Structure 1
Amino acid sequence: MSHPPQDFLPAHGGQLRQIAAQYEIPVEQLVDFSANINPADPPASVLATLNRALADFATLTAYPDLELAALKQALSKASNISPENISVANGFVPLLEAALRSLGITRCLLPVPSFSEYRRTLENAGVAAAPHYLFQENSFSYAPDSLLQAALKERCNAILLANPQNPSGSLCEAKTMRRLIEAAAEQGIKVLLDEAFIDYVPEQSLTEAASQHENLIVFRSVTKFFAIPGLRVAYVVSSPSSIEDLNRRLPPWPVTTLASCAVCAALQDETYAEDTRRKNSLRKTWLLGELARLKIVTYPSNTNFLLLRFSAEVDVSLLWERMILEHQIVLRSCANFEGLAPGHLRIAVRSEVENERLIRGLEQVLRRA
């Protein structure tokens, strides 16, 4: 069996149609462990809200609210901050790009490995990226002193971080992150903090702190946790003056009426959120035990995904392809994570039945490797 060509490997998770076409497998037969989406269906409250909205033709015939007042109010209540501290767009990337331009960021420290869109967005905004390689033996934890020293050495006026970190899922506790933010403020350095997966550890969020620290900008995702990524909603929290300047750099009507209605409903569904966190914890614990049995190394994760490290004799690109062809299971190739050593794959935490299927597949492929 030949290796998958490097230019074919999907740049992101969730690219099932591309993979199905490449390997001539019906897309509905593929089980997606490559995208870190809640494996549950969207909340029933969201589906009911969308049905009611579609019953009113004005939902489609009228323009969305230019100010997104209802959506910002819902986000404000969920995050315990003022609506004037919030800006919304149809995803993280346009918000990051607008923030980079509005804050006058010229050189940014980028701890790696990290989400590939970070570097791409920095470069598209004309910002120089200074990579900072993270320790990889046992975790990918952020060390505030090391990050600040690196930022000063590289003459950066910003640091771009993810907490929990991607691709490892490692968490930097809020108190440690606060120490970094305060130290960075003394040096005139902005901290751009992506909290896309903080919903799994909400007590560690610094979203509220972003309204109190002039040098902190927090980015939040809504749709991954609530299993509605097709609706594309993200928001950023900062000081009112920063938000006002950022908004001027975003196009009008950045979020559709349907997406706004769905997110407003999702944010009120506390039962769904609590159930998601509980089930994810149980399923992840089971997966960790099974992966250890297969002698696959994992890293500490506070999210709904796990980064796997295989022994040197395992060809992970071949394993990735065999899992698709023999078991119709799509893992996340980590080949495009800058600064990540070879031998890694990432998996999402899915349902009990799907997780069992994953372990059986890995066991069989590794036995023949």
Structure 2
Amino acid sequence: MHKSFSHGGRILSLAKQMDVSFESILDFSASINPLGVSPLVKKAVAAAMKLAGHYPEAGSPSLCQALAQYHSIPVETIAVANGSTELIHLIPRLFRRAAGRALIIAPAFSEYTNSLHLAGWEYSYLNLSHTDGFTLNTAALAEELAKGYDICFFCNPGNPTGHLYTPEEIETVYWLSKSSGCFFVLDEAFIDFKEDFSAKALIPASDSGMILRSMTKFFGFPGIRVGYAIASSEVTSRIKRFLPPWNVGVIQQAAAIAALSDLKHCRETIEFVEKERRSLTDAFAKMSGLTVFECSANYLLVRLDNGMTADRLQNELLKELILIRNCSNFEGLDNRFFRVAVKGKAENKKLLQAIAGALKNSSIPFS
């Protein structure tokens, strides 16, 4: 039985439910660039409005070219989509069969499971353990893959764990998948914070895998849906045959191209997030009743060790209009785990004070 497919970032619906303005809610449930969108993106979006009366470029060739230049990879290895989730739901269709079998290395983004469930595929999990920091046991993976799978899903850095796997570890997973006849799907939605760890030079070298990339998190515009795949030209050609011709609109394409051009904003984002993440990690580490996990992206996974549940903590924080991500619906995690985005210093301070207050006021004694 699968867990629910709920997500973070539900601030608009929550504001309506609570009858408050969405601006009044501090949303730590969605891991979005705390610096916001680049100023160049705002200008590009405004300028693109004059194109709203026309169809966008089918297949987003200008954006593909911009991505190829940004990553220094061949343009034919890129396929652009309306967010990486569009690609996730397309993947089972690439195999031209009624059903197949997939392995998900968990904890993981629930849309992998959702896409497989809707497509009628079977799926199993290889759960990584929080007790050893979500390290990957390649021997256990090889043993599991030997049971026979069509697809293997893996995320680097892990979501929601934040664990960063080395290029050598990713290469091992890739070759284990390939040697077992399994198509390897590597989700690099948060790799922008550690771009040197990307497998974009490895995966496109054969037709045995693909990389998923998102422009939601690092570039800070989840409301403007843009994602893309990096794979061999054969694989991207297959992907493009399944995508609608105008799946990415003129405003989306303009925003993405502008974001890629602002390298200064990219550098400032990395520096800002690293500094604030370290500060937030240190503050959590000093709190009694919590365990914080090392992360390489713009969020932190935290475990409650004092008997309080993530449900209860989430509800307590909502009273102060602070929203966190309850991670109990992630396969391999339970109701002790929650995730928070890394935001600015003042916002992070407010979060820490609210969590400290909730823990202090809990009637459950600390362990």
Q: Same fold (TM over 0.5)?
A: yes
Contact 1:103 1:242 in 2 (8 A): no
Match of 2:365 in 1: none
Residue matched to 1:77: 69
Deviation at 1:216, TM superposition (A): 1.9
Q: Within 5 A, what are the aligned runs for 1:256-295?
A: 256-295=249-288
In the alignment, structure 2 segments of 5+ residues that lack a partner are: 363-367
| Structure 2 Cα separation of the partners of residues 60 and 17 of structure 1 | 25
Contact kept? 2:149, 2:181, Cα under 8 Å: no
Identify which of 149, 153, 157 aligns with 2:150. 157
SS in structure 2 opposite 1:206? coil
2:347 counterpart SS class:
helix
Residue matched to 1:118:
112
- Asked if 1:48 corresponds to 2:43, the answer is yes
Change in Cα spacing, 1:236 to 1:10, as seen in structure 2 (3 Å) is closer
Alpha-carbon distance in structure 1 between the residues aligned to 2:150 and 2:12:
40
* C-alpha distance in structure 2 between counterparts of 1:221 and 1:360, whole Å: 32
> What is the CA RMSD across the aligned residues, in angstroms?
1.7
Q: 2:312 aligns with which of 272, 295, 318?
A: 318
Give the residue type in structure 2 aligned to 1:322.
Answer: E
Q: Which runs of 5+ in 1 are unaligned?
A: 1-6
What SS class does the counterpart of residue 248 from structure 1 fall into?
helix
- 2:189 matched residue in structure 1: 196
Query: Residue type matched to 1:349 in 2?
Result: V
Whether the aligned pair in 2 keeps the contact of 1:169 and 1:306 (CA below 8 Å) is yes
> Pick from 22, 46, 58: which aligns with 1:27?
22
The alignment status of 1:136 with 2:126, answered yes or no, reads: no
Q: TM-score, normalised by structure 1?
A: 0.92
Percent identity for Structure 1 against Structure 2: 29
* Separation in 2, partners of 1:361, 1:145: 42
Find the aligned partners of 1:43 and 1:202 in 2 and give their Cα distance.
19
Q: Is the 8 A contact 1:80 1:208 kept in 2?
A: no
For residue 303 of structure 1, report the CA deviation from its aligned partner. Answer: 0.6
Quote the offset at 1:244 in angstroms. Answer: 1.2
Name whichever of 14-23 and 226-235 sits farther off.
Answer: 14-23
Letter of the 1:171 partner, please give it. Answer: L
Deviations 1:3-40, CA, capped at 9 Å, x for gaps: xxxx9x99111111332333344322110000010111
After superposition, the Cα gap between the structure-2 partners of 1:353 and 1:100, relative to the gap in structure 1 and judged at 3 Å, is same
Q: Write the distance in 2 (CA, Å) between the matches of 1:24 and 1:258.
A: 30
1:312 shift after superposition: 4.1
**Structure 1 runs of 4+ with >4 Å offset:** none
Separation of aligned partners in 1, 2:275 and 2:282: 11
Q: Is the 8 A contact 2:76 2:236 kept in 1?
A: yes
CA distance in 2, matches of 1:10, 1:282: 32
Contact 1:144 1:177 in 2 (8 A): no
Contact 2:92 2:115 (C-alpha < 8 Å) held by counterparts: no
Q: How far apart in 2 are the matches of 1:93 and 1:164?
A: 17
Q: What is the rounded CA distance, in whole Å, between the counterparts of 1:228 and 1:191 in structure 2? A: 27
Look up the equivalent residue of 1:330 and give its one-letter code: L
Deviation by residue 1:205-228 (Cα, 9 ceiling, x = unmatched): 012322213212100001321111
Q: 1:347 aligns with which of 326, 340, 346?
A: 340
Cα deviation, residue 47, structure 1: 1.2
Report the Cα distance in structure 2 between the residues aligned to 1:186 and 1:238, rounded to whole angstroms: 18
- Number of equivalenced pairs: 357
Of the three residues 75, 82, 92, the one matched with 2:84 is: 92
Is the aligned partner of 1:16 residue 2:11? Answer: yes
Residue 192 of structure 1 aligns with an amino acid whose one-letter code is V
Structure 1 stretch 131-140 or stretch 275-284: which is displaced more?
131-140
**Larger displacement relative to structure 2 (168-177 or 205-214):** 205-214
- Of 142, 157, 166, which residue of structure 2 is paired with 1:173? 166
User: Which residue matches 1:127?
Assistant: 121
- Contact kept, 8 Å, 1:122 with 1:129, in 2: the verdict is yes
Aligned partner of residue 318 in structure 2, secondary structure: helix
Q: Kindly provide the amino acid, as one letter, of the partner of residue 23 in structure 2.
A: E
**In the alignment, is the contact (CA less than 8 A) between 1:312 and 1:343 conserved in 2?**
no
| Residue number in structure 2 paired with 1:37 | 32
CA contact (8 A) 1:141 1:171 kept: no
The correspondence of residues 224-243 of structure 1 with structure 2, limited to 5 A, is: 224-243=217-236
- Matching residue of 1:4: none
Q: Distance in 2 between matches of 1:231 and 1:367?
A: 40
Shift of 1:86: 1.1
Q: 1:35 is matched by which residue type in structure 2?
A: A
CA contact 2:184–2:208 (8 Å) conserved in 1? yes
Q: Deviations over 1:183-231 (max 9, x none)?
A: 3222211110000000010000012322213212100001321111111
Give the equivalent residue in structure 1 for 2:245.
252
The residue type paired with residue 121 of structure 2 is V
2:207 corresponds to: 214
Q: Distance in 1 between matches of 2:310 and 2:48?
A: 46
Judge conservation of contact 1:151–1:158 (CA < 8 Å) in 2. no
**Pairwise CA distance, 1:144:** 2.7
CA contact (8 A) 2:207 2:234 kept: no
Q: Secondary structure at the match of 2:356?
A: helix
Amino acid at match of 1:318: R
